[in-house]
Amino acid sequence: MRDFIMSNSSKPLIKPQHSIPVMPATQETRLIAQVKLLQALQSSLNIQDVLSSFFKHIQPLVSVSGLVLTLKDKETNFKAGRNSIHSCNYGLNTEEGYLGEIVMTRSRRFTEDELMTIEMFIGSLVFALRNAIRYQEALTLALLDPLTLLGNRAALESSIKRELPFAVRHHQDLSILMIDVDFFKSINDSYGHDKGDHVLREIAKTIQTICRETDLTFRYGGEEFLVILRNTNLQGAQIIAERLRQQIASTAIPLREGGAIRPTVSIGISTLYQGQKEKAADLFKRADIALYNAKSSGRNCVMHENLETVTE
């Protein structure tokens, strides 16, 4: 890999690791192409758009078959074009830290002259990427509950506006779990808000562990959580809810002075009625009624919207 390091006060530092025959490219054509690229990169803060612009604008000078950008978490990839045999790799660094790695491929080896051109273009790309990554991270943080790292109310509203019409359009099942921590006020009063926060974090982790990757999890507010279960009917929702209730009931959060907090939850379920003009408010209201009845029936149980207890 060839490291690409940018700072506000110095030029890019490239450490070549191989020698390839030269194919000349004029400085004038490079500069013209770079100006066009800079203009294009300023038009979007979307990472995929930034990468696609880079891919498009480098083509007149260096033929590239495909690009892959892997961000620093090593799990998030963005692609343009298609993969090929030969590649050149660059680690993207700024004074603020490592951004990720970009890999360019094509069917024949890159010449040193072409690598010089690519490196000039990366000088424009790296700061555009940094700004796009910052923007995406800010958007993500704006949709996260800082305590539990689940989605917040804003994320929930955005998700249900997308998921409900999708389920209706494709005639798919959709269910909601509304989850409330039992006697949470007494936990705060007895052990302090720090322990109360610890309880909420542990329950949030359990929800994420029990629920499937396709499910969407949120902190609904206070000690309430909500899960959107995609493509899940009432029976499937009951199974997941009961597993969740049992797992939380078996959780013991140790206390420094001895003993442990053993939280429980009550869960209400609602399911999409196909063929009716359902709104998100309808689903939430029915789940809320089911939750209210679960708490009225002694707590630490699961009930669905027809008001039947489903706890084993």
Q: What is this structure's pTM?
A: 0.67
Look at the domain 153-304 and name its fold. Alpha-Beta Plaits (3.30.70)
Active site residue 213: no
The 10s digit of each residue's pLDDT in 254-307 is 998 889 999 999 999 999 998 888 899 999 999 999 999 999 999 999 999 775
Could you tell me if 272 and 175 are in contact, meaning their C-beta atoms sit under 8 angstroms apart? yes
The mean pLDDT of the chain is 86
Summarize the confidence of residues 56-82 as an average pLDDT.
88
Of 101, 163, 223, 278, catalytic: 223
- State the Cα–Cα distance between residues 200 and 207, nearest whole angstrom: 10
User: Position of tokens 């050149």?
Assistant: 88
Query: Residues 58, 63, 66, CA angle at the centre, nearest 5°?
Result: 85
Summarize the confidence of residues 59-73 as an average pLDDT.
90
The 10s digit of each residue's pLDDT in 175-224 is 999 999 999 999 999 999 999 999 999 999 999 999 999 999 999 999 99
- State the Cα–Cα distance between residues 37 and 61, nearest whole angstrom: 12
Kindly report the backbone phi and psi dihedral angles of residue 310, in degrees, each rounded to the nearest multiple of 5, phi listed first: -115, 5
> Closest Cα to residue 299, out of 270, 265, 268?
265
Which of 6-15, 82-91, 102-111 has the weakest average pLDDT? 6-15
Domain spans, the chain: 2-142, 153-304
The 10s digit of each residue's pLDDT in 151-180 is 999 999 999 999 999 999 999 999 999 999
CATH 3.30.450.40 fits 2-142, yes or no: yes
